[in-house]
Chains A and B, each alone.
Chain A
Amino acid sequence: MPKVPKSAQNALVEVVLLIVVCGLFTWFIILPKKAEISAKNASLAKVVEQESTVSGDLAKLQSMIQTLNSSSNQVADLDQALPLDGNTVNLQILINSLAQSVGVAVTDVEVSGQPNTVVAGDKALLSDPYGATRTLQTLAGNLSVTGSFAQLQAFLQKLETSARLIDVTDLEMDAAAGGNLSLRLGINAYYLAPSS
């Protein structure tokens, strides 16, 4: 049996050691690093998706604000339908104007909102009109008008379809003087008031 030279023996030991080192290096350093990178890639994908969502939301918000700024007529209609203040005078003016347009006589209008509601001169609100959190409030009222049946029907129709949303909660019709009819209505109108 021929003898293996000393240098070859050393080389064999080197090979064995290198295999062990390569194995340990792969097992304890490379594979954990790869797992770490894989986890980081997953979280990067999540963060990128989140970024894309937030960026999309921002773009959508900008576009909506732009649309809002260029829709002043629709905003005016919206403010008329559901105002941002509890001013009862405007409602009474509207009712009188509707009554005038169909020729009925308003004999009584009474509208009441929340007691002690500030309806003008609220400096904090004026400086930041949209900053406050708002809730839906109701203005409840009663009104009585007199006229012919056709006039009362026309008035009721105008009230129901007016630009300001007015709900008729109850209705009473009676005979009135001069062959006319008297119509008494319970009404609710609404507004969005800042929460106190």
Chain B
Amino acid sequence: MAQINLLKQTSTPYDFKETGPKILSKVFLVILAALVIYYAWLFFDSKSIDGKITQAQAQIASDQQKVTSIQGRDELLTRQLQIKNLQALIAAHVYWSQLFPELARVTLKTASYTTLKVGLSDDLTLGVTVPSLSDLDKYMQIFDLSQFNQNFSDIRINGFNKVQGVSSTAVQFQVSMTYNPSLIQYNAQSGN
């Protein structure tokens, strides 16, 4: 008669304890292999980046070489220097011809100028002839009016004397004044 084992089987827990670590071991082996593959990928990626950096640096060196040796570069730099200097000179350029119309506007109609001396020191010296002393007085009074002393101020008379003309006497004097420097600077309205 065949013998039947009716006792509860105890091999299953033994099997898990036996196979579990083996499975885990295989899983970690796979993980280790994946890590190695990942490292290999990182290694080649690093080499690839090195290659790209070298390539870009070579391109930079080549472009820099082209920039320094390109034909016409020296002329371009010279022209740029010319323009830069010219811009600075133009900014400081003055137009003395703008002084005359304004001087005429503020001058007494009976007065005439015999000499004019002006420099960049903002001082203007004029030799003036007027018919009489009262005209000399009027000549000076004009510069007390606000509409006439915007561009000429600080009028100084350096002595005067009577001179005999062809038909009448006149008064000659020398006058110094300060002019407004903006008067001789570039004026877009006048085109100068």
Contacts and interface: CB of A to CB of B under 8 A. Distances in A.
Contact of A160 (B57, B64, B97, B113): B97
Interface of A: 2, 4-5, 7-9, 11-12, 14-15, 18-19, 21-22, 25-26, 29-30, 33-34, 36-37, 40-41, 43-44, 47-48, 50-51, 54-55, 57-58, 61-62, 64-65, 68-69, 75, 78-79, 81-82, 84, 128-131, 134, 136, 153, 156-157, 160-161, 165, 167-175, 186, 190, 192
Contact of B117 (A14, A33, A130, A172): A172
Secondary structure type dominating chain B contacts: helix
B192 interface: yes
Contacts of B35: 22, 25-26, 30
B52 interface: yes
B101 to A, nearest CB: 9
Contacts of A30: 35, 38-39, 42
A61 B70 contact: yes
B49 interface: yes
A78 B89 CA distance: 13
B74 interface: yes
Interface string B99-124: 01000000000000111111110000
Nearest to B100: A153
A126 to B, nearest CB: 14
B116 A78 contact: no
B191 to A, nearest CB: 8
Contacts of B76: 61, 64-65, 68
B66 A131 contact: no
Interface in B62-107: 63-64, 66-67, 70-79, 81-83, 85-86, 89-90, 92-97, 100
30 contacts: A4-B18, A8-B17, A8-B18, A8-B22, A11-B22, A14-B25, A14-B28, A15-B24, A18-B29, A25-B39, A37-B46, A44-B56, A47-B53, A48-B56, A50-B60, A54-B63, A57-B67, A61-B73, A81-B86, A84-B82, A130-B74, A157-B192, A160-B95, A170-B119, A170-B120, A172-B115, A172-B116, A175-B114, A192-B81, A192-B85
A75 B76 CA distance: 11
Nearest to B71: A65
B43 A33 contact: yes
A156 B119 CA distance: 14
Contact of B85 (A12, A47, A190): A190
B167 to A, nearest CB: 17
Nearest to A160: B95
Contact of B96 (A18, A26, A168): A168
A51 B56 contact: yes
Interface string B35-52: 110110011011001101
